[in-house]
Amino acid sequence: MKTIVRLPNWLGDTLLALPALEGLAALGEELVLAGRVGPLELVDHIAPGAPRVPLAGAKRSPIDRVAAARALRAARAQRCLLMTPSLSSAIEAWAAGIEVRIGWAEQGRRPLLTTPLVRPPRGAMHLAEEFKALVAPLGAAEFPAVPVLPLSTGAAEAAQRVWERDARAIPENAHLVALCPGVQYGTAKRWPEQSFHELRERLEARGIAGFIVGSAEERALADRVLAGAGARWFNAAGAGRLRTAAALLRRARVAVCNDTGTMHLAAAAGVAVVALFGPSDPGWTRPLGDGHRVIRHPWDCAPCFCRHCPHGDPAPCMAAIGPEEVVRVVEEMLTRAPGGVDGSSSG
């Protein structure tokens, strides 16, 4: 039976879905992968011979939605697995005339699904485990423990070109720190820009070199975080495709990230992550694998999962994390051997 897999819309969710997708691909059934350009790039190693169906991005018009249904219908699949929770994605699968439609029964879409699955309360299990449970009805039972993003020769070469252009002042044996100050899902999960700036200053004062990773839209933000920096720090935001960013991140010993897609990109590239959490729940979206640390302070209203904090910007739960606190964790991680960092939380 041919199965269309509707990939998650968010980059971080797609990375957390990799173990489930690999378990599904191991069944050897005919797959079609459908999704936005970014998620499709992150899964180009999954079932490499399978057709890809690119879909429009976040701000989709009714014409885009009709086009999506037509593209799904043209794939001539008998089954659709929805890794998205939205009502619109279920409508598109239904409108495409796909016979079997599997997904979470939420947001009023139960009548549109032939196999509606009850989703656990948010944070009751890690999102990666939710994705594994979602593919279980298709027979997948064995999964990799954590997401791993393999990097192609092309991504490594692209990262090397960026490095040769921008990192000439950084010694080859330097223990590098990557900073990821951007966030895609609203503003509430964003550690204050000034805090990232102060963190970079304090790291630099201790002789630590590094760079900033993010999207092209975050390049101005990265410039502000780097204001006054010396030659051993540089801006790699928007420097290439997602796998190029992953190849750059792999050069770092530690990455400091908000709870966003770049956090999971760093973890999947094998980098130890300092994850800054506030309104979201580490039990649901913490980085997976060994060597990561979560910094989060208890707050009466957290986790609230708000896109924008009703108490102001920055969110008080994020502003409570101090730069010196993060510096201490980074220094501790840098002094340990690779792979020897524990996965405990602080705060």
The model's pLDDT over 82-108, given as tens digits with 9 standing for 90+, comes to: 999 999 999 999 999 999 999 999 999
Q: Is the peptide bond before 314 cis (omega within 30 degrees of 0)?
A: yes
Q: What are the residue ranges spanned by the domains of the chain?
A: 3-138, 153-346
> Which whole number is the average pLDDT over 233-259?
96
**CA-only gyration radius of the chain, Å:** 20
| Average pLDDT, rounded, for the chain | 94
Q: CATH topology of 3-138 equal to that of 153-346?
A: yes
Lowest-confidence segment of 91-95, 108-112, 337-341 by average pLDDT: 337-341
**Calpha distance 10→20 (Å, rounded):** 16
Residues recorded for the chain: 347
Q: What is the pLDDT at residue 55?
A: 94
Q: Please check the confidence at residue 342 and state whether its pLDDT lies above 50.
A: no
- Give the whole-angstrom CA distance, residue 60 versus residue 71: 15
Q: What is the pLDDT of residue 60?
A: 82
Q: What is the pLDDT of residues 181-197, one digit of tens each?
A: 999 888 999 999 999 99
Query: What pLDDT is stored for residue 345 in this prediction?
Result: 44
Q: Is the pLDDT of residue 339 over 50?
A: no
pLDDT score of 346: 44
> CATH top-level class for 153-346?
alpha beta
Four-point Cα dihedral 315, 124, 114, 61, nearest 10 = 10
Across the range 256-274, mean pLDDT stands at 97
Q: What is the pLDDT of residues 163-186, one digit of tens each?
A: 999 999 999 889 999 999 999 888
CATH architecture, domain defined by 3-138 = 3-Layer(aba) Sandwich (3.40)
Token pair in block for residue 52: 């890809």
Cα(237)–Cα(215) distance, rounded to whole angstroms? Answer: 5
pLDDT above 90: percentage of residues in the chain: 92
Evaluate if residue 39 carries a pLDDT over 80. Answer: yes
Residue 337 has pLDDT above 90, yes or no: no
pLDDT above 70: residue 338? no
With a cut of 60, say whether residue 344 has pLDDT above it.
Answer: no
pLDDT of residue 172: 87
Do the Cβ atoms of 214 and 197 come closer than 8 Å? Answer: no
**pLDDT tens digit sequence for 129-176:** 999 999 999 999 899 999 999 999 999 999 999 999 999 999 988 999
